[in-house]
Amino acid sequence: MQKQYMAVIQAGGRGTRMWELTKDNIPKPMLLLNGKPMIQWQIENISRYGILDFVIITGHLGEKIQEYFGDGSRLGVHIRYVHETTPLGSAGALYYLKEMGVKEDSILFVYADVMFDIDWKRMISFYESRQGAVVLAVHPNAHPGDSDLIVLDDMQRVTAIRSKNNIRNGWYDNCVNAGIFILSCSVLQYLEKAAYMDLEQGLLKLLIDKGLVFGYKTSEYMKDAGTIFRFQAVCKEQADGIWRKKNLENRQKCVFLDRDGTVNQFCGLVDKEELLVLEEHAAEAVRMLNDSEFLVIVVTNQPVVARGMCSIEDIRQIHRKMQTLLGEQNAYLDDIVFCPHHPDKGFIEEDPAYKILCNCRKPATGMLDQMVEKYNIDLKNSYMVGDSTVDIQTGKNAGTKTILLRTGQGGQDERYRVTPDYIVDNLKIAAGIVLGDEGESIHV
């Protein structure tokens, strides 16, 4: 039997960080974003996927939301309201869905200050494939230092939420709670009438301990617009068409980056986190691309695993350092994929499990193919960027445009007789080419 869904928008906060714009005369979710209230953008995205039954949780100045949207018929949806007379936290008011007699199986639950344009079919499909109670959308962002970080296991089950308010020691995955959820209506049993309940630190923590929460990782547009600076940024990105282009219904453009010698300084085989140091212009280049319609994905051969120099977990820790260092400079990677294999035998401490021929080790295209499937990537409008002829041959094999960097090996490996589309001094100049500025490049 097909599951039935409704949508709930949590719009009960006071929006104190936006007082300069609201002047406490209008609720934050009613701020006009390029001509429409913030909530209207959310309703339009969700209703595009056939979900037409909405509940809006209101609080301070909530009557202005209700006056504007009414029963929702003007937008082709049906809207009901829950009004908090006293704050009940981010989840407490969900209790009143029981008193409304909701008939749906599951709830799309979103915070009113998160702007998004996502393919709900994909997220719902992920939710229905898991035997859980909650799926939350997770993604990397440009400010992980002041965001709640989500820890996932190999099955994408959430094992912990690391609050933005806690002191963080060590490196971390840039995997952030986006403020977009799908909840089974079964979770309403944990709520009590008029009782305060925080979603992340209350309800979700309870369900995480039961193994019932999963993370849906997506590259789609979803950004917190809860500060003046971020509100202005999402306004510009909507006007530039970035929201819609990032929706995974649409073919995506991507910049595939090699790792060693491209993002971090080349120093031979990197088998421990201490050896990873970012290239001088790497964070700025990645940040430039983050502000565009392009995805940024690292694809890297890591034969150190096959050679027995380090483990898969060591590689992941090295990548956590890379993500943390980039995040400290407001840059992020949409994904990282690596090949641990190496076909040649004879190393003293080699791991025979990884000493195989594979289709993922560059210049084979397996890693790129995996990302194409995951993110609906259009290879012919994408780029492969790296410091070796292996990277350029990979791009040629996959059908991308290619950019060779003079950093790292600078193409001196000479393993393949291949001509890149461009040769440039560093990743920042390569990012400029991708974004339409050929600047100091050599077009070959």
Give me the active site residues, please.
258, 260
Query: What does the block give as tokens for 136?
Result: 């939350």
Burial class (CB within 10 angstroms; exposed 0-12, middle 13-18, buried 19+) of 268: exposed
Distance (Å, rounded) from C-alpha 120 to C-alpha 145? 28
What residues have CB less than 8 Å from 233, skipping those under 6 apart?
Answer: 223, 225
CB atoms near residue 163 (< 10 Å) = 13
DSSP state of 226: -
What residues have CB less than 8 Å from 206, skipping those under 6 apart?
Answer: 190
Query: What does the block give as tokens for 298?
Result: 């690292």
Distance (Å, rounded) from C-alpha 377 to C-alpha 253? 6
What is the phi/psi pair of residue 184, to 5°? -70, 140
**Dihedral over Cα of 430, 431, 437, 440: its sign:** negative
Distance (Å, rounded) from C-alpha 39 to C-alpha 281? 38
Query: What does the block give as tokens for 280?
Result: 């001088």
* Angle separating helix axes 282-290 and 312-327, nearest 10 degrees: 80
Query: What does the block give as tokens for 73?
Result: 């018929």
- Asked if 295 and 375 touch (Cβ cutoff 8 Å), the reply is yes
- Asked if 248 and 119 touch (Cβ cutoff 8 Å), the reply is yes
Bridge partners (DSSP) listed for residue 260: 264
Strand blocks (E) in 112-262: 114-117, 134-139, 149-152, 158-162, 176-184, 213-217, 221-224, 254-257
Q: How many helices (H) and strands (E) does the chain have?
A: 13, 20
